[in-house]
């Protein structure tokens, strides 16, 4: 059974600082996703990573994938308050089906 | 227009009742899903339909019955509601076999009293 572990689960950081969220998964997968969820809201797709070495960046967020290590990272650069949210990684174990297994989420709080 | 829409947004009901949640997507996708998010924010897939055919059915009590009248709609009917069914239920859609992202609806907060 595919297991997806995120750490840390809680992250409190100061504005302007950098930090990384880690996502480890237990079996081979062809797709890895990062989602953002604001309190009481839906999930917003941030990145889809498809191959080893893939790196994607959007604003202050950058995601990377190492399929050999079964590890993805979400790096936050110069955090701002607006980035406060819960971030989930999810790994596809269903082939052409989107049978996503989610990590437990990282609750990020950016303090002024 | 909302891409994936669910109704109702909130559902408060008594134990033992039967309720339904509706989902519609206007993205032209052929695959739709139900995910459950528990009180600890853990998300787990329940069902998936591709062109009205059930393709993923996780270990879910048979009180939960999805129905897909066409590929743009996927409804979730729950019989004999229990306290443990309280959660947020998200509908989602995608194009089968593509590498695109999964689009989620805004969620239905179900509270069973």
> Hey, is B77 helix, strand or coil?
strand
pLDDT of residue B106: 94
Closest chain B residue to A51, measured at CA: B99
B48, pLDDT greater than 80 = yes
Q: pLDDT by residue (tens digit) across A53-92?
A: 899 999 999 999 999 999 999 999 999 999 999 999 999 8
Residues of B in CB contact (< 8 Å) with A are 31, 33, 40-45, 48, 50, 55-56, 90, 92, 94, 96-97, 99-107
The three-state (H, E, C) secondary structure of chain A, written as one string: CCCEEEECCEEEEECCCCEEEEEEECCCCCCEEEEEECCCCCEEEEEEECCCCCEEEECCEEEEEECCCCEEEEEECCCCHHHCEEEEEEEECCCCCCCEEECCCEEEEEEC
If you average pLDDT over every residue of chain B, what do you get? 92
What is the predicted pLDDT for the residue at B1?
Answer: 64
Section A39-45 average pLDDT: 91
Angle at A86 between CA B23 and CA A112, to 5 degrees: 135
**Contact between chains at B101 and A33 (C-beta distance less than 8 A):** yes
Computed from CA positions of residues A108, A106, B44, B32, in that sequence, does the dihedral angle turn out positive or negative?
Answer: positive
Q: Residue B58 has what pLDDT? A: 85
């Amino acid at each position: 059974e595919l297991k997806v572990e995120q750490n840390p689960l809680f992250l409190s950081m100061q504005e302007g600082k950098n930090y990384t969220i880690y996502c480890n998964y237990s079996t081979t997968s062809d797709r890895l996703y990062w989602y953002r969820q604001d309190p009481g809201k839906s999930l917003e797709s941030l990145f889809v990573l498809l191959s080893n070495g893939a790196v994607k960046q959007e604003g202050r967020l950058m995601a990377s994938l190492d399929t050999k290590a079964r590890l993805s990272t979400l790096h936050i650069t110069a955090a701002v308050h607006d980035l406060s949210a819960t971030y989930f990684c999810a790994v596809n174990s269903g082939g052409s089906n989107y049978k996503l297994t989610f990590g437990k989420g990282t609750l990020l709080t950016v303090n002024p | 227009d909302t891409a994936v829409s669910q109704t109702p947004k909130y559902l408060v009901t008594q134990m033992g009742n039967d309720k339904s949640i509706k989902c519609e997507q206007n993205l032209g996708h052929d695959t739709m899903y139900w995910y459950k998010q528990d009180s600890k924010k853990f998300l787990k897939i329940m069902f998936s339909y591709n062109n009205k055919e059930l393709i993923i059915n996780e270990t879910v009590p048979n009180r939960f019955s999805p129905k897909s009248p066409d590929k743009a709609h996927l409804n979730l009917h729950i019989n004999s509601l229990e306290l443990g069914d309280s959660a947020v239920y998200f509908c989602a859609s995608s194009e089968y076999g593509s590498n695109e992202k999964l689009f989620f609806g805004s969620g239905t907060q179900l509270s069973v009293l």
